[in-house]
Amino acid sequence: MPSIRDAVVVGAGPNGLTAAVELARRGFSVELFEALDTVGGGARTEELTLPGFRHDPCSAVHPLGVNSPAFRDMPLARHGLEWLESDLAMAHPFPDGTAAVLARSVGETAASLGSRDAGAYRRLVAPLLPRWDTLAADFLGLGSALNGRLPSAPFDLARFGMAGLQPAAWLSRRFRDEKARALVAGMAGHVIAPTTTFATGGIALVFALAAHARGWPVPRGGSQSVSDALAAYLRELGGVIHTGSEVKRLDELPPARAYVFDTSPTALARIAGLGHAYAGYTYGAGAFKIDYALDGPVPWTSPEARRATTVHVGHTAGMIDDALRRATRGQDPERPFLITAQPGLVDPSRAPEGRQVFWVYGHVPNGWDGDATEVVEEQLERFAPGFRDRVLARATAGPPELAARNANYVGGDIACGSAAGLQLLLRPKLARVPYATAHPAVYLCSSATPPGPGVHGMSGHHAARAVWRRLALGR
Ligand SMILES: Cc1cc2nc3c(=O)[nH]c(=O)nc-3n(C[C@H](O)[C@H](O)[C@H](O)COP(=O)(O)OP(=O)(O)OC[C@H]3O[C@@H](n4cnc5c(N)ncnc54)[C@H](O)[C@@H]3O)c2cc1C
């Protein structure tokens, strides 16, 4: 390392690792500091319950990762990343044993919604699907438009925006029956906000198009494989990684021409002495996460749910909206909307033979310190009777445990910032370059910046772009 590094990155989540890689591959010297003993942030894998059961404590399923222009431009497969896809990307079962599904094929998905809505679904996604790659680049590149690069297909983006800027609840009005409405609400529910929130229709559309284009895969070996591949590539490029190094003050770090923070805006303000720069930034509802070791597959009543790596559990669009609304209003969960994943369907390396890992989370108020295990399992039993009999062990984490696991999950908010108001799009605040800060050498690259939460590395990519433009000026 030179005595003055070009860039120091703080935090080895997907965005911090991506920012470090993007700078290193352009010839800049990069050193990265991570608080925990392993890299990964929200993309890690651990034996949380019993020996041989490899759980993802945070992210598990990667529709955004496999479609990320940043990841697709890196040789991550050479560093061990392999995407595995199930027969169905997602199933949304109903109490009568039927299910709406999200398949690779638009036709199969449309057919699962019933004859009254099949045509409306086709008309919604079919025109956009052939343009998905440029749309994905433009959608995930929202930050770069603010960073001096215009969308490559503005007409397509505008067409997407006409449906996508609507709340999911409005988008659902084009459907007549509950199956399609519940499917849309479940996809929008990945944003932890009521389905009447601005632009949640766009989130549902992105998840649907991503499934039809490349599926919703899981990485072989778990989400840690994404982080390990990024870290291996960074080292190959000459980058240096220090783990077990929590950064508390800017002046603890080695001298550098730029500092890039994969942290919450609040932590950045504290560490870099930025005062009240992000005082208006708000955090959203939290998650209650359970990782299960099971003695066999989940006994779903719906045959489709037994074939899908992701299963959404919440009867109707109204019930999903109610569960999200309760969490954002500060009320205890009653019938939580559950996002669940069963990566063992496609990856036998995750558990001893015949056994399964099972991943579940629901939504709870920010900072909530109750135990949601009972309401989560009651909800699972409605769709998979006998589920509890399969449980060998469980590891639970509510907001306090999630926040202790990762400083970015403020109050258990796994999105590192609320999606309320315009904050889903304008993060951390309205600015031409949202990655820049009041300190000319300090940048923010976490999911608190556009395009927001998810394992896609695009916030890191855009922040790195702002940094390399500045560093190149000084060369
Ligand atoms: C339960 C759960 C389920 C999820 N499911 C999915 C999913 O299935 N698919 C998906 O795409 N996304 C999912 N996500 C979201 C996804 O994990 C995050 O959006 C993503 O990891 C954000 O990446 P990041 O790099 O911005 O931050 P993070 O991944 O949070 O990484 C930040 C890193 O910075 C480190 N750090 C923070 N402060 C400091 C400091 N002061 N000094 C040093 N290091 C520091 C942290 O330890 C951490 O390693 C999930 C998240 C959770 C918690």
Per-residue pLDDT reduced to its tens digit, 362-416: 999 999 999 999 999 999 999 999 999 999 999 999 999 999 999 999 999 999 9
Flag the least confident range among 52-61, 116-125, 151-160, 253-262. 151-160
Per-position b or e across 438-465, b if 16+ CB within 10 A of its CB: eeebbbbbbbbbbbbbbbbbbbbbbbbb
Q: What is the pLDDT of residues 448-467, one digit of tens each?
A: 999 999 999 999 999 999 99
Flag the least confident range among 21-30, 104-113, 380-389, 413-422. 413-422
Give, using CA atoms, the residue closest to atom 18 of ligand 1: 454
Q: How confident is the model at residue 162 (pLDDT cuts 50, 70, 90)?
A: confident
247 located within any domain: yes
189 located within any domain: no
Please tell me if the CB atom of residue 15 comes closer than 6 angstroms to any atom of ligand 1. yes
Q: How confident is the model at residue 148 (pLDDT cuts 50, 70, 90)?
A: low
| Mutational pocket test of ligand 1: of 32, 191, 405, 408, the residue with most ligand atoms within 8 Å of the beta carbon | 408
Question: Separation of 177 CA from ligand 1 center, angstroms?
Answer: 36
Would you state the pLDDT for residue 135? 81
- Mean pLDDT computed over 22-49: 98
385 located within any domain: no
Give, using CA atoms, the residue closest to atom 21 of ligand 1: 42
71 located within any domain: yes
272 located within any domain: yes
What does the mean pLDDT of the chain come to?
94
| CATH number of the structural domain spanning residue 265 | 3.50.50.60
Would you state the pLDDT for residue 143? 64
Question: Separation of 289 CA from ligand 1 center, angstroms?
Answer: 14
275 located within any domain: yes
Would you state the pLDDT for residue 149? 67
375 located within any domain: no
Question: Separation of 344 CA from ligand 1 center, angstroms?
Answer: 22
Contact indicator for 229, 76 with CB cutoff of 8 Å = yes
- Whether 159 shows a pLDDT value over 80: the answer reads no
Q: How confident is the model at residue 358 (pLDDT cuts 50, 70, 90)?
A: very high
Residues in contact with 401: Cβ distance below 8 Å, sequence separation at least 6, in sequence order: none
Question: Separation of 449 CA from ligand 1 center, angstroms?
Answer: 13
Omega before residue 440 within 30° of 0, cis: no
Would you state the pLDDT for residue 199? 84
229 located within any domain: yes
Question: Separation of 368 CA from ligand 1 center, angstroms?
Answer: 19
Question: Separation of 109 CA from ligand 1 center, angstroms?
Answer: 31
Q: What is the pLDDT of residues 81-103, one digit of tens each?
A: 999 999 899 999 999 999 999 99
Residue 18's domain comprises 5-51+58-82+220-282+418-474
Strands 286-294 and 218-219: unpaired
Would you state the pLDDT for residue 15? 98
Residue 148 in tokens: 């001096």
Please tell me if the CB atom of residue 267 comes closer than 6 angstroms to any atom of ligand 1. yes
- If one counts the domains in the chain, the total is 1
Q: What is the pLDDT of residues 406-426, one digit of tens each?
A: 999 999 999 999 988 788 788
Cα–Cα distance measured from residue 29 to residue 19, given in angstroms and rounded to the nearest whole number: 12
Q: How confident is the model at residue 351 (pLDDT cuts 50, 70, 90)?
A: very high
Would you state the pLDDT for residue 198? 84
Please tell me if the CB atom of residue 16 comes closer than 6 angstroms to any atom of ligand 1. yes
Q: How confident is the model at residue 52 (pLDDT cuts 50, 70, 90)?
A: very high
